[in-house]
Copies of this chain bind each other. A is one copy, B any other.
């Protein structure tokens, strides 16, 4: 009996999200199909984060266990040969029995990638949010600062969310990183990455934070309004939900 922790990167665009579904192609479904074939029994993988359709991962984690005969050091190579190229196992390591990718997680980092342009590049549409020109970054940074710390983030939770005990979460850090992205045409585009680290996130929380910060950057919401939005505990007070294709699950902490 072995317990294996996987590190996984995937392009979320071709999939109906992480979670297995009977009639849709999902990341979990693809990985379970391939690992079941390799292991010779029905494998169930438990992922840390049930990413939505179109959301990407640079470092998703998942555990699976059983009487695994294939050497641990061969799992990635063997599985990557059978998986679609949009899903890559980056690492597989044996962990103690009982270790669980989701329940043992202490926190996560997400990146939300924005391009400050009105013209969608046809080659980058699936991996960035084209949010428009003229984002005021200084305002966005001020607003981001106000979201750091332990707060009730009910205003930043999608309606119709998963069952949860509390809507209080701790964001340890939000960084805005300015970069330049080169399109295949050679055109240089202004990229702004919002990197958010916290102990846990409510449903759609990072996308609502990214949408709200974008609205601040456009002057639709004041950069001083964050405290009022948090204290209101009302989804209607925050900004729009930024689209899934800009969101990347970067790292899980244990």
Contact = CB atoms under 8 A, between A and B. Distances in A.
Nearest to A59: B185
A121 B121 CA distance: 20
Interface string A1-44: 00000000111000000000000000000000000000000000
A85 B120 contact: yes
A10 B184 CA distance: 11
Q: Is the interface of A mostly helix, strand, loop or mixed?
A: loop
A100 interface: no
Interface stretch (A122-130, A144-152, A201-209): A122-130
Contact of A119 (B88, B181, B184): B88
A122 B85 contact: yes
A135 to B, nearest CB: 20
A87 B122 contact: yes
B123 A184 contact: no
B127 A56 contact: no
Contact of A127 (B87, B113, B123): B123
Interface in A221-254: 248
B119 A248 contact: no
A233 B58 CA distance: 47
A172 interface: no
A159 interface: no
B58 A185 contact: yes
A121 B88 CA distance: 8
B58 A184 contact: yes
A123 B85 contact: no
B120 A11 contact: no
Given A9-B122, A122-B10, A184 B127 contact: yes
Contacts of A86: 122, 125
Interface in A98-148: 113, 119-123, 125, 127
Top 6 closest A-B pairs, CB basis?
Answer: A85-B125, A58-B185, A11-B122, A85-B120, A86-B122, A88-B122
Given A10-B122, A127-B184, A184-B248, 12 more contacts: A11-B122, A11-B123, A56-B123, A56-B184, A85-B120, A85-B122, A86-B122, A88-B120, A88-B122, A113-B184, A181-B182, A182-B182
10 contacts: A11-B122, A56-B184, A85-B122, A85-B125, A88-B119, A88-B121, A113-B184, A123-B127, A181-B182, A182-B182
